[in-house]
A = this chain, B = another copy of it.
Amino acid sequence: MLSKVGSYNYHIESYACDFTGKATIPVIVNCIFQAATAHANERGFGYDDIRKDNVAWVVSRLSIEMSEYPEHDENITVETWIEGVDRFFTQRCIRFIHKDNRVIGYARTIWAAIDIVTRRPVDILAWRPDLADYVVPDQECPLEKLAKIPPVNGVEPSMGYTVRYSDIDINQHTNSIKYIEHTLNIFDLKMFKEKFIRKYEIVYLIEGIFGDKLKLYTQAASENEYLIDTKKGEESICRSRILFHPVIAGLTRNPMSAVE
């Protein structure tokens, strides 16, 4: 049996970086999905393995906390393991390791197994009891469990967009990373010059489809904290919470050595 923790190494491509020359949250989420896919494929519960059962993994919640970001042309090591499996969700943790073996961040993701015909959740414990064999309950992931993200009401939308071809994924719904990308677009470049994203959380509530006209409602919860509610009419499609942290002048890296 393969080790329970998978470790993967990715190169940060310069053309995928933002104007600061660093990896963005969507690039980091790409690394998470790439590692999760590889980890699942190697252990027999990847996309193609479970498609035979008419099942697909769908990400339900995601949170990332970074103390620094890799720069263009640098490598990042992504470790991933399953922390728990219950009836309707699996919890997958991720640890990011940068140069000199420095831990620069963690992520938590929660996945549902969806019947691709009915779009209803599948009872994971009944369907694939063997997944429990891969659980690593004692590996440290010092990132708090994903909390609920409150709705944003009573404000005008900051931005809107229509779900188009490039937003649609292999499951015929809106791509999880695209939702994240759109939420970052409500901010001015000045924000990303002065601050970096310390923590990004998203809860996916309803699957968006082609042609949906979505609106983003934003609320500043505290000086560096924003809630963004992506809605179709009155319904929340997904909700994000972004916590920024000032970039310290004269330092190209954030001085925090790791996420506490």
Beta-carbon contacts under 8 Å, A143-194 to B: 164-166, 168-172, 175-177, 181-182, 184-185, 187-189, 192
Q: Is A127 an interface residue (CB 8 A)?
A: no
B-contacting 9-mer, from A19-27, A86-94, A240-248? A19-27
A73-B13 CB under 8 A given contacts A165-B18, A168-B18, A170-B18: no
Shortest beta-carbon distance from A165 to chain B in Å? 5
Q: Taking CB as reference atom, which chain B residue is nearest A47? A: B14
Which of B47, B169, B189 contacts A168 (CB under 8 A)? B189
Beta-carbon contacts under 8 Å, A1-37 to B: 13-19, 21, 24, 26, 30, 33-34, 37
Q: Is A207 an interface residue (CB 8 A)?
A: no
Q: Taking CB as reference atom, which chain B residue is nearest A32? A: B15
Q: Is A48 an interface residue (CB 8 A)?
A: yes
On chain B, the residues within 8 Å of A181 by CB distance are 166
A42 to B33, CA, bound (A): 28
A33 to B16, CA, bound (A): 10
Q: This chain: how many copies in the complex?
A: 2
Q: Are B165 and A17 in contact (CB under 8 A)?
A: no
A170-B21 CB under 8 A given contacts A14-B37, A187-B165: yes
A18 to B46, CA, bound (A): 18
Q: Are B33 and A13 in contact (CB under 8 A)?
A: yes
Q: Are A19 and B166 in contact (CB under 8 A)?
A: no
Shortest beta-carbon distance from A92 to chain B in Å? 14
Shortest beta-carbon distance from A212 to chain B in Å? 12
Q: Is A72 an interface residue (CB 8 A)?
A: yes
Q: Taking CB as reference atom, which chain B residue is nearest A163? A: B185
17 A-B pairs with C-beta separation under 8 A? A13-B33, A14-B47, A15-B30, A15-B170, A17-B170, A18-B165, A18-B166, A18-B169, A18-B170, A19-B171, A21-B170, A26-B166, A47-B73, A48-B73, A165-B187, A165-B189, A166-B182
